[in-house]
A and B are shown apart, each in its own frame.
Chain A
Amino acid sequence: MVHGPPAVELVDLRKSFGDVVVLDGLTLRVPTGGVHALLGQNGAGKTTTVRILATLTRPDSGTARVAGYDVVRERRRVRRTISLAGQHAALDDGQTGVENLTMLARLTGLRAPAARARAAALLDRFDLADAARRQVITYSGGMRRRLDLAASLVGAPSVIFLDEPTTGLDPRSRQALWEVIGELAGAGVTVLLTTQYLEEADRLADQIMVLHGGALVAEGTAADLKRRFGAQRLELTWRDAAGLAEATRRLGDRVTHREPARLSLSVATEGSAPQVRALLDEVDPDRHGVVRFTVREATLDDVFFTLTGRPASPEREVAGV
C-alpha cells in the first residue's frame, strides 16, 4: 500500500481566472491514507485546488495526479477513484434520502437491488435510517451534510475530497460530522479536506498543508507546525516605538509576531527561566525598554499568523481578537 503512488501529487500547478491568480505554482504531495487538511483563508486557492483534483476545472499549467492518474488526460480513471462533497450538499430536495443514494449508486454501475442495498447500508452507517424515506427538503443542515457524505461514498472511492465540510454548521452538528470524517479515514480511505478553521484541521488532520496566495507555505502535523514556528513564544511589550524598532532590528528573522500598534513583538522560546532571562538580556541590555513580558502557548493560529501575517479565521479579524 505504502509503495503505490501518492493519493495526490501536484507539481507547479497554476490557475488564473482573468487577471486573478488563484494558484501560483502549487506543489504538494498527499500520501495514501489518513486525513489531510488544506488550511487557508478565503481566496487562498483551496477550493480551486480541490476542483482541479475532482476534474471539474482544468489547470492552466502544471500537473495534478490522483492515485497516479493525470486529472486532465486520465480524467475518467480519476473519476472512478475519487468523490467530492462540496460546500453545499448537492442532493435532490424532492427525493428521499434513500432515493438520492440509490440513484447515485446506480450511476456508479450497480444494478437496482445492489444499489438499494448500498443505499440502505450507508443510511444506517450515517445514522439516517429513520429519515431514509423522508424527502431531503425536510432534513436539518447537519442531516443534509451527513447524507452528502454518504452520497460521496456510494462509489467506494479511494480518495475523498471534502470542500469546507462543516462551514455553516452549528457546533453540535460540526462535532458529529468530525466523528464521521474520522471514521472514513479509519476505513482506509484518503481524505483531503479544505478548511479555514484551525480547530478543525488540528482535530482531524494527520497532516496540515497551509495554503496562502495560491502556494504552499508550510506543511506538517499540527504538532510539527507548532514546534517549528514556536511551541511557545515570548511576547514583549515595549515602552516606545524606538525601542520596538531597535529590538526588531536586533532580532531580525527570529521575530515571529509583530503588533506595532500594541508596541509588542514575539520570539520563539522553550519557556525555561534561563532562556527567557537570556533573551531579555539580549534584546534589552539596558533593562528599561521592555515594560512587560508574557509566555504564550503557541496555537495553530500563531503558526498561521507567522506564515501569512494575518489572523487565520475571518471571525477573529472582525472581533479584533
Chain B
Amino acid sequence: MSELTLRPTHAAVMIGRCVRLSRRNVDALLTSLLLPVILMLLFVYLFGGAIETGSAYVTYVVPGVLLLCAGFGAAGTAVSVTTDLTNGMIERLRTMDVGATSILTGHVVASVARNAVSTVLVLGVAVAIGFRPAVAPLRWLAAAGVLLLFLLAVSWLSAAFGLLARTPEAANGYTFLVMFLPYPSSAFVPVETMPSWLRGFAEHQPVTPVIESLRGLLLDTPVGTAPTQAVAWCVGLLALAVLLSGVLFRRRVA
C-alpha cells in the first residue's frame, strides 16, 4: 500500500516539522520538562522519608521518574496526531501522496527527541540531589538503549491512540493512562509491599522489567532476565503499535 510505504525525504521533512512544532509549543514543552523534575523532588523529599527501600530513596526512585516522564512526554504524541487529523493537515498531506508511515514517523521521532532532552534534565537534577549511578559506560549505554526502545514503543502506541481519538481533548485523556502505568510497578515502592492482587499485576506489566533493567544497569547491580523481558515487551508493543496504526490510519481516512 502506497499509504504505508516510508519515503526517506518525506519522513525527514515530517521529522523537521514535528521537532520545530514541539520547540514552538512552549507551554507543552515546559510542562513535559518541568513536571518530571517536580515529581522527582516530590517523591524524594515528601514521600522518600517514609518509604523503606534498602538504599537512599533518590537512588531507588530515579529510574521510575525517568519512565514516568517518558510515558508522559510520549503520550503527547497522541494529541498532536489527533490535531493533524482534525485540522485537515493529514488530508492535505495525503493529497500530496505523503504516506501514513512518514507522517507518524515525524511525530514519533519528535517525541523521542523531546523525551531525550527531558531525561537528561531529570538525570542532571537527580545527580544534584544525591543520585550516584555506578561508573560503567557500557551499562549506561545499555540503559539508554532500553529507555530509547521504551520511548519508541510508547510514542508509537500514542500515535495509534491519536488515530483512534475523535478530538485532541480525548487524545489527551490517553496521557493519563500512560502516566498511571508506572505507579503500580516497582517504580516508586518495592512490589513486595503491595497487596498480592496488585503485586501480581505489578510484576507482570511492561513497566516493571524496564525499570528493573534501568535500576540494575545504572547502579551496576545484577539484572537477571529483566533486560531480556524489557526488550521483548518493548519490541512486542512497538510491532503491535505499528501494525495497529497502519490499520487505524486506513480505516480513519477511508
Note whether A and B form a binding pair. yes
Residue picked from A86, A87, A107, most chain B C-beta under 10 Å: A107
B20 at the binding interface (Cβ < 8 Å) = yes
Q: Tell me how far the C-beta of A134 lies from the nearest C-beta in chain B, rounded to whole angstroms.
A: 12
Contacts A79-B96, A107-B96, A108-B96 given; does A84 touch B91 at CB 8 Å? yes
The answer to the question of A309 belonging to the interface, with a C-beta cut-off of 8 Å to chain B, is: no
- Per-position contact with B for A155-172: 1 when CB-CB < 8 Å, else 0? 100000000000000000
A83 within 8 A of partner (CB): yes
18 interchain pairs (CB within 8 A)? A54-B91, A54-B95, A57-B254, A83-B95, A88-B87, A88-B88, A90-B87, A92-B21, A94-B20, A94-B21, A94-B25, A95-B17, A99-B20, A103-B16, A106-B13, A107-B9, A107-B93, A151-B92
Whether the Cβ atoms of A135 and B89 lie closer than 8 Å is no
A308 at the interface (CB under 8 A from B): no
B225 within 8 A of A: no
Please name the residue on chain A nearest to B16 by beta carbon: A103
CB <8 Å contact, A155 and B96: yes
User: Chain B: residues with CB nearer than 8 A to chain A?
Assistant: 2, 9-10, 13, 16-17, 20-21, 24-25, 87-89, 91-98, 253-254
Q: Does A55 contact B (CB under 8 A)?
A: yes
**B13 lies within 8 A of A90 (CB):** no
CA distance A115 to B160 in the complex (A): 31
* Seed contacts A90-B92, A95-B17, A95-B20; 8 additional CB < 8 Å A-B pairs: A54-B91, A56-B253, A80-B97, A92-B89, A99-B20, A103-B17, A107-B96, A109-B9
A11 to B95, CA, bound (A): 22
Given contacts A56-B253, A92-B17, contact A76 B97 (CB under 8 A): yes
Distance of A285 Cα from B96 Cα, bound (Å): 66
Query: Are the CB atoms of B13 and A107 closer together than 8 Å?
Result: yes
Q: Which 3 A-B pairs have the closest CB atoms?
A: A90-B88, A94-B24, A90-B92
**A55 B94 Cβ-Cβ under 8 A:** yes
Cα A82 to Cα B89 in complex, Å, equals 16
B81 to chain A, nearest CB (A): 14
For A86, list chain B residues within 8 Å (CB).
Answer: 88, 91-92
Residues from chain A with a CB closer than 8 A to the CB of B93 are 107
